[in-house]
């Protein structure tokens, strides 16, 4: 039996497939052929996300996205019709994009896409359907927020931003109630129906006529560029500070430590994502090794950037045994401080560099993942060799460039710590650690 | 019979030590997915040792004879690879997806923990991972609304002492009782090449893959003795209706209904799989149409109310689950669900059958659309049915099942004698947070 790690073979260099681009009317089809991938991922990107919503229509994008599922004939008829073709409806609203799509067998793509186009361009938008969907969404907010981790993430926006970002993407448990069927119809007409958008198609495209696909999906809709949103100001309040969202009887606390970050176009992606990976992006990252593998406080801890067109958020999140909450916070802050002071190790530098270069074939091993990358490129106006450029950025990383990223992008002193847990049990220990003032709120009081 | 392309290109080999290797092509290049299915799961646990198979899975990442704690994860993550493992009642699987030049390294890491885990195991890592698993239990079960549903369902569905009576996560008390000697004996008893299916999905030459697997796994001896699994036979029918009613902090009433059906892999399972799709999979399903759209008394779950927990060695469990809308009581929802389930015995249309087949086939295609999902499906079909190609042809099992078969099976199985119900009701008459919504709507 061999006693040591075998050598690696030579890594083949990876290049993201060059997409085929076809302009059809007001829209563009961006396609990657993956022979043998029978399930085709199709995504239509409209450049209107939650960030562009006026403050008296918060949640209209999310509600419209749901209502499209009622289909051209209304009354939840779209999904059953698609199901007959073995196709699955996909829809997602982000802060910066309104995305609809299908995962469908290549053999039945044509039929499914005709139905898809009707659903996006000519939905019934029956007021009864809209009100039913809205009420369901409002109720679902609290059903989902009954999970501590979800509630913690939803509580974050109001701590870091004023304006639109202070309310959850789907309009929260209150504001969405003000969105009327008329508002939905107007949003759909102005931002979806009449806007061609960009169609991403990935899968086995043997025999697929992209031009025809584009005609079906775009019709006579026109090209409309995305607006340029501006970042809302932070709310007043001392930093760092702690917010406890009371969840009596919780045996664990959901914990998020977050601060504002630059926008997607402002960050140097390999350096920012790289330093986040060292801190919490991988299983072997510092926070997980400390909180899980050394202290045994949690099932897992991680960090991530949420980068938008006009702003960004950096956050660490975890769920820890209730009695370890205070120590989990100080430990996490210590880990961040240490990374800022002492920088990364050679091993960490190598891990970040290699995982994001030689590891790329793993990231893009499915049609869905490739479609996701293409959608990202459309939403953020990135060049089509974006993946390769970022790879080159990772290849250039040095210890110095990652160390400087730690001080440039990680700001524990500007953090808000959100804790969803049992306030009675947590108030004293969280006050005692002296990180900042502690405020206790009930979940219901967070949104008005 | 049409299958999707790759069937027929599957390679199947058995090493002298009993390890079964399957190779299959990937649909994108430069990538290798490695998946190991060991034929050990929570059904092998004895009373007082629940949760052990899963705790053991965690320990497999904590170092072995030639690998330090954390090194396995480090090696794979440094290559940008995906890595994880999971435990169910019937098996434990370990899987990695890496750029294909790293295949030898993955095979070596897997072979080392199979051959020498006992040499790397210490009390310290056992204590640490026990805490981690207890936090996993808190996160997924104890601190989650309806989190204990599965545990309660299994308790009702299978009698005390039956190997499927408890969930894979186990109990806090049993986790506390785990000791180092037992860890070592568990590895010796269940972790042998003769209890493993290894699948490699890649574009490498199958003969080349075989040679590498021979090199790393060939020298590992088979187990001396194969332990007997606890008897999964069910002496008696369920004797329903049986129920467990819970009043606790949940945001809405929740109804979980279960029926025993045929073991996974049997024709009767496939028939009921279609029945569950007609009833509760997709937005064209009966429960979605009737209780989410038409009445509407159930929360919108997108059409995911029914499915089957697939157990290979005992009766599987068909589960139907919905949450009540605001202001709707648990009794109202439960009665409506049971009524809808009961109607299946009156007949199923051809259109419903077509939709059910399409939905199940779509989900299957989705599950094998990644190299890692394909590898897992192949390992499953090989470990459980000795037929890797089933991973590609599985949807054909539904082609010839008739509407009458589904109706007749529903009439026989979806009856009170075979019924279990777990009911969650909120402590207060109204769900937490409901007041705030009502006020705002009225404002």
Q: Residue for token digits 């109804």?
A: B255
Q: E strand or H helix at B23, and its extent?
A: strand B20-24
Bridging pattern class, strands A298-307 and A312-321: antiparallel
Instruction: Name chain B contacts of A36, Cβ cutoff 8 Å.
Output: 5-6, 25, 27
Burial class (CB in 10 A: 0-12, 13-18, 19+), A8: middle
* Range scoring the smallest mean pLDDT among A25-39, A115-129, A393-407: A25-39
How far apart are alpha carbons A442 and A424 in whole angstroms? 12
Alpha-carbon distance of B87 to B65, in angstroms, equals 23
> pLDDT exceeding 90 applies to what percent of chain B?
90
Q: Which residues contact A299 (CB under 8 A, 6 or more apart)?
A: A292, A319, B132, B133, B135, B136, B138, B139, B140
Minimal C-alpha gap between A126 and chain B (Å):
13
Count interface pairs A-B at CB distance under 8 A: 260
To probe the interface with B, which of A41, A107, A139, A286 has the most B CB atoms within 10 Å? Answer: A139
Please tell me the predicted confidence (pLDDT) of residue A311: 95
HEC letters along A4-22: CCCCCCCCCCCCCCCCEEE
Nearest CA-CA partner of B166 in B182, B179, B177, B150:
B150
Which positions in chain B touch A147 (Cβ < 8 Å)? 144-145
- Average pLDDT estimate for B405-412: 98
* Residue B139 tokens, joined: 């996160």
The chain-wide mean pLDDT, for chain B, equals: 93
Nearest to A5 among B108, B283, B323 (CB): B108
Mean pLDDT of chain A: 95
**pLDDT digits 0-9 by tens, B57-101:** 999 999 999 999 989 999 999 999 999 999 999 999 999 999 999
Rg (chain B; Cα; Å): 23
Number of Cα atoms under 13 Å in the Cβ half of residue A68: 29
Task: Look up the pTM and report it.
Answer: 0.94
CA distance A402 to chain B (A): 16
Which residues in chain A are contacts of B104 at CB distance < 8 A?
6-9
CB B420 within 8 A of CB B238: yes
- Considering the domain delimited by A241-446, tell me its CATH architecture: 2-Layer Sandwich (3.30)
CB half-sphere exposure, B71, CA atoms < 13 A: 17
Q: Using the beta-carbon criterion (under 8 Å), do A174 and B78 form an inter-chain contact?
A: no
State both tokens at B296.
């509407």
Taking an 8 Å cut-off on Cβ atoms, the answer to whether A359 and B25 are in contact is no
Given a cut of 60, whether residue A220 has pLDDT beyond it is yes
Of A3, A36, A249, the CB nearest to B249: A249
* Cβ partners under 8 Å of residue A20, min gap 6: A29, A30, A31, A32, A33, A210
**Where along chain A do its domains lie?**
20-218, 241-446
The answer to whether the Cβ–Cβ distance between B145 and A146 falls below 8 Å is yes
Whole-angstrom distance, CA of residue A302 vs CA of residue B143 = 19
d(Cα B113, Cα B65) in Å, to the nearest integer?
7
SS3 A417: strand
Cα distances (Å, whole numbers) of residue B311 to A135, A186, B89, B319: 38, 50, 8, 13
- A119 to chain B, closest Cα gap in Å: 15
Nearest CA in chain B to A10: B101
- Burial (CB < 10 A; 0-12, 13-18, 19+), residue B227, is middle
Q: What is the ipTM of this complex?
A: 0.93
Residue B59 contacts residue B183 (beta carbons within 8 Å): yes
**Interface contact B101, partner A, CB < 8 A:** yes
Contact B369 A37 (CB under 8 A): yes
Residues in chain A: 448
Q: Does B79 touch chain A (CB under 8 A)?
A: yes
Asked whether the beta carbons of residue B115 and residue A1 sit closer than 8 angstroms, the reply is: yes
Of B131, B326, B355, the CB nearest to A139: B326
Architecture of the B242-442 domain: 2-Layer Sandwich (3.30)
E-strand spans in A209-366?
241-246, 252-261, 298-307, 312-321
Q: Do you know the residue count of chain B?
A: 443
> Residue A84: which of B25, B77, B354 has the nearest Cβ?
B354
- Whether residue B2 is predicted with pLDDT greater than 60 in this model: the reply is no
Model confidence at A83, in pLDDT bands (50, 70, 90)? confident
Strand order in the sheet with B242-248: B242-248, B419-426, B254-261, B316-323, B306-309
- Name the residue among B80, B108, B143 with its Cβ closest to that of A252: B143
The pLDDT score that the predictor gives to residue B429 is 55
Alpha-carbon gap, residue A138 to A116, rounded angstroms: 26
Which residues of chain B lie closer than 8 angstroms to A86, CB-CB? 358-359, 361-362, 365
Homologous superfamily in CATH for domain A20-218: Metalloenzyme, LuxS/M16 peptidase-like (3.30.830.10)
Q: pLDDT tier at B6 (50, 70, 90 boundaries)?
A: low
Q: How far apart are the C-alpha atoms of B186 and B52, rounded to whole Å? A: 9
| DSSP output for B183-246 | HHHHHHHH-SGGGEEEEEESSS-HHHHHHHHHHHHTTSPPPSSPPPPPP----S---S-EEEEE
Least-confidence region, from A387-396, B168-177, B371-380: B168-177
pLDDT attached to residue B282: 93
The alpha-carbon gap from B366 to the nearest alpha carbon of chain A, in Å, equals 7
- Which chain B residues are Cβ-neighbours of A87 within 8 angstroms? 362
User: Which of A38, A80, A362 should we substitute to test contact with B (largest number of B Cβ atoms within 10 Å)?
Assistant: A362
Q: How many CB atoms neighbour CB A192 within 10 A?
A: 22
Position A108 confidence tier, pLDDT thresholds 50, 70, 90? confident
> Nearest-CA distance from A415 to chain B in Å?
25
For CATH 3.30.830.10, list the domain ranges present in chain B: 11-217, 242-442
With cut-offs at 50, 70 and 90, classify the pLDDT of residue B7. low
Check residue B5 and give its pLDDT: 45
Name every residue whose Cβ is closer than 8 Å to that of residue B106 and which is 6 or more positions away in sequence. Answer: B32, B34, B76, B81, B96, B98
- The answer to whether B291 touches B324, Cβ cutoff 8 Å, is no
The strand pairing partners of A222, in sequence order, are A195
Please count the CA atoms within 13 angstroms of the CA of A62 that sit on its side-chain side. 25
List, edge to edge, every strand of the sheet that includes A252-261: A298-307, A312-321, A252-261, A416-421, A241-246, A438-441
Q: What part of B 304-343 touches A (C-beta under 8 Å)?
A: 323, 325-326
pLDDT interval class at B432 (50, 70, 90):
very low
CATH superfamily of B11-217: Metalloenzyme, LuxS/M16 peptidase-like (3.30.830.10)
Whether the link from the prior residue into A299 is cis, omega within 30° of 0, is: no
B347 in reach of chain A (CB within 8 A): no
Chain A closest CA to B214's CA: distance in Å?
11
What are the E-state strand segments in A80-210? 88-93, 98-105, 198-203
- The pLDDT value given to residue B436: 38
C-alpha A305/C-alpha B33 separation (Å) is: 28
Mean pLDDT of B151-165: 96
Where do runs of H (alpha helix) occur along A99-147?
109-121, 127-145
Of A11, A284, A361, the CB nearest to B70: A284
Q: Is B427's Cβ below 8 Å from some Cβ in A?
A: no
Burial code (b: 16+ CB inside 10 Å, e: under 16) for A133-148 equals bbbbbbbbbbbebbbb
Tell me what pLDDT residue B434 has: 42
pLDDT digits (tens, 9 = 90+) for B231-277: 999 989 999 999 999 999 999 999 999 999 999 999 999 999 999 99
A242-298 pLDDT, tens digit each: 999 999 999 999 999 999 999 999 999 999 999 999 999 999 999 999 999 999 999
DSSP type of residue A396: T
- For the residues A307-318, what does the mean pLDDT come to? 97
Question: Is residue A281 within 8 Å of A303, Cβ to Cβ?
Answer: yes
Average pLDDT over every residue of A391-411: 98
Rounded Cα distance, B12 and A177, in Å: 58
How many C-beta neighbours within 10 Å does residue B71 have?
A: 19
Nearest to A170 by CA among A139, A194, A124: A139
List the 3-22 stretch of B: residues with Cβ below 8 A of A: 4-6
For B363, phi then psi, to 5°, come to -65, -35
Runs of H (alpha helix) within A188-238? 210-218
Give kind and range of the element (H or E) at residue B337.
Answer: helix B330-343
Phi-psi region of B204 (alpha: psi -120 to 50; beta: other; left: phi over 0): beta
Neighbours of B207 (CB within 10 A): 10
Q: Measure Cα distances from B328 to A133, A444, B430 in Å.
A: 17, 21, 9
> Which chain A residues contact residue B68 at CB under 8 A?
none
Q: Evaluate if residue A384 carries a pLDDT over 50.
A: yes
- Over residues B22-41, the pLDDT tens digits come to 999 998 889 999 999 999 99
User: B234-258 as b/e, with b when 16 or more CB fall inside 10 Å?
Assistant: eeeebebeeebeeeebbbbbbbbbb
Q: Which of A173, A150, A71 is nearest to A114 (CA)?
A: A71
CB A284 within 8 Å of CB A348? no
Fold match, A20-218 / A241-446: yes
């Amino acid at each position: 039996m061999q006693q040591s790690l075998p050598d690696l073979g030579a890594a083949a260099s990876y290049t993201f497939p060059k997409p085929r681009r076809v302009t059809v009317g007001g829209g563009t089809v961006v396609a990657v052929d993956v022979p043998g991938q029978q399930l085709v991922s199709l995504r239509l990107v409209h450049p209107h996300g939650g960030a562009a919503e006026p403050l008296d229509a918060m949640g209209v994008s999310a509600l419209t996205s749901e209502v499209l599922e009622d289909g051209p004939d209304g009354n939840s008829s779209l999904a059953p019709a698609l199901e007959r073709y073995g196709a699955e409806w996909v829809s997602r609203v982000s802060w910066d994009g309104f995305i609809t799509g299908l995962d469908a067998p290549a053999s039945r793509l044509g039929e499914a896409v005709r139905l898809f186009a009707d659903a996006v361009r000519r939905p019934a938008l029956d007021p009864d359907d809209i009100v039913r969907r809205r009420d369901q969404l409002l109720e679902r907010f609290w059903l989902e927020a009954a999970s501590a981790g979800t509630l913690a993430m939803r509580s974050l926006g109001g701590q870091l931003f004023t304006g639109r970002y202070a309310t959850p993407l789907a309009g929260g448990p209150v504001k969405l109630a003000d969105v009327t069927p008329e508002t939905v119809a107007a949003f759909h007409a102005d931002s979806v129906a009449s806007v061609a958008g960009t169609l991403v198609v990935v899968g086995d495209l043997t025999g697929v006529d992209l031009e025809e696909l584009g005609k079906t999906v775009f019709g006579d809709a026109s090209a409309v560029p995305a607006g340029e949103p501006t970042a809302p100001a932070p709310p007043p309040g001392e930093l760092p500070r702690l917010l406890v969202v009371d969840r009596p009887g919780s045996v664990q606390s959901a914990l998020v430590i977050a601060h504002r970050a630059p926008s997607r176009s402002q960050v140097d992606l390999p350096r920012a994502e790289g330093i986040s990976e060292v801190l919490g992006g991988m299983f072997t990252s510092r926070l997980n090794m400390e909180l899980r593998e050394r202290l045994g406080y949690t099932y897992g801890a991680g960090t991530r950037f949420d980068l938008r067109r006009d702003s960004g958020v950096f956050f660490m999140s975890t769920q820890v045994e209730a009695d370890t909450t205070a120590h989990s916070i100080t430990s996490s802050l210590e880990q961040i401080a240490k990374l800022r002071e002492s920088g990364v190790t050679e091993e960490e530098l190598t891990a970040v560099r290699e995982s994001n270069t030689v590891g790329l074939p793993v990231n893009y091993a499915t049609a869905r993942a490739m479609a996701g990358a293409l959608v990202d490129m459309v939403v953020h106006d990135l060049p089509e060799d974006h993946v390769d450029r970022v790879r080159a950025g990772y290849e250039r990383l040095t210890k110095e460039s990652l160390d400087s990223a730690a001080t440039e992008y990680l700001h524990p002193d500007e953090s808000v710590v959100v804790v969803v847990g049992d306030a009675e049990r947590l108030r004293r220990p969280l006050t005692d650690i002296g990180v900042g003032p502690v405020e206790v709120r009930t979940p219901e009081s967070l949104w008005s | 019979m049409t299958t999707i392309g790759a069937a027929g290109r599957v390679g199947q080999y058995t090493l002298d030590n009993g390890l079964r290797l399957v190779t299959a092509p990937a649909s994108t290049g430069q990538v290798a997915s490695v998946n190991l299915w060991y034929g050990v799961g929570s059904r092998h646990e004895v009373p007082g040792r629940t949760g052990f198979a899963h705790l053991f899975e965690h320990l497999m990442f904590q170092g072995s004879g030639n690998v330090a704690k954390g090194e396995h994860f480090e090696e794979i993550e440094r290559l940008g690879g995906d890595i994880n493992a999971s435990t169910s009642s019937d098996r434990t699987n370990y899987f990695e997806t890496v750029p294909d030049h790293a295949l030898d390294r993955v095979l070596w890491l897997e072979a080392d923990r199979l051959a020498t885990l006992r040499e790397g195991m210490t009390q310290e890592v056992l204590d640490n991972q026990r805490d981690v698993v207890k936090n996993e239990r808190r996160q997924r079960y104890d601190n989650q609304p309806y989190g204990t549903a599965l545990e309660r369902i299994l308790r009702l569905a299978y009698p005390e002492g039956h190997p499927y009576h408890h969930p894979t996560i186990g109990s806090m008390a049993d986790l506390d009782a785990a000791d180092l000697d037992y860890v070592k004996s568990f590895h010796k008893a269940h972790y042998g090449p003769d209890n493993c299916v290894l699948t490699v999905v890649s574009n490498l030459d199958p003969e080349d893959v075989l040679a590498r697997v021979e090199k790393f796994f060939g020298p590992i001896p088979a187990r001396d003795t194969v332990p007997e699994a606890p008897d999964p036979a069910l002496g008696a029918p369920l004797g329903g209706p049986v129920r467990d009613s819970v009043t606790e902090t949940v945001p809405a009433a929740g109804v979980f209904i279960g029926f025993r059906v045929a073991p996974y892999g049997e024709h009767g399972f496939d028939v009921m799989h279609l029945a569950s799709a007609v009833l509760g999979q997709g937005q064209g399903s009966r429960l979605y149409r009737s209780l989410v759209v038409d009445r509407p008394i159930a929360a919108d779950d997108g059409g995911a109310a029914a499915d089957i927990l697939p157990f290979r060695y005992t009766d599987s469990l068909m589960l139907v689950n919905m949450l009540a809308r605001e202001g709707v009581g648990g009794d109202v929802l439960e009665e409506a669900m049971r009524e809808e389930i009961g109607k299946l015995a009156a007949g199923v249309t051809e259109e419903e059958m077509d939709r059910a087949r399409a939905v199940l086939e779509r989900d299957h295609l989705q599950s094998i659309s990644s190299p890692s999902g394909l590898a897992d499906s192949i390992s499953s079909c090989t470990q459980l049915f000795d037929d890797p190609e089933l991973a590609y042809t599985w949807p054909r099992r539904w082609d010839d099942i008739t509407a009458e078969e589904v109706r007749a099976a529903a009439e026989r199985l979806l009856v009170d004698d075979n019924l279990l119900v777990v009911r969650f009701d909120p402590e207060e008459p109204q769900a937490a947070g409901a007041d705030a919504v009502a006020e705002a709507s009225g404002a």
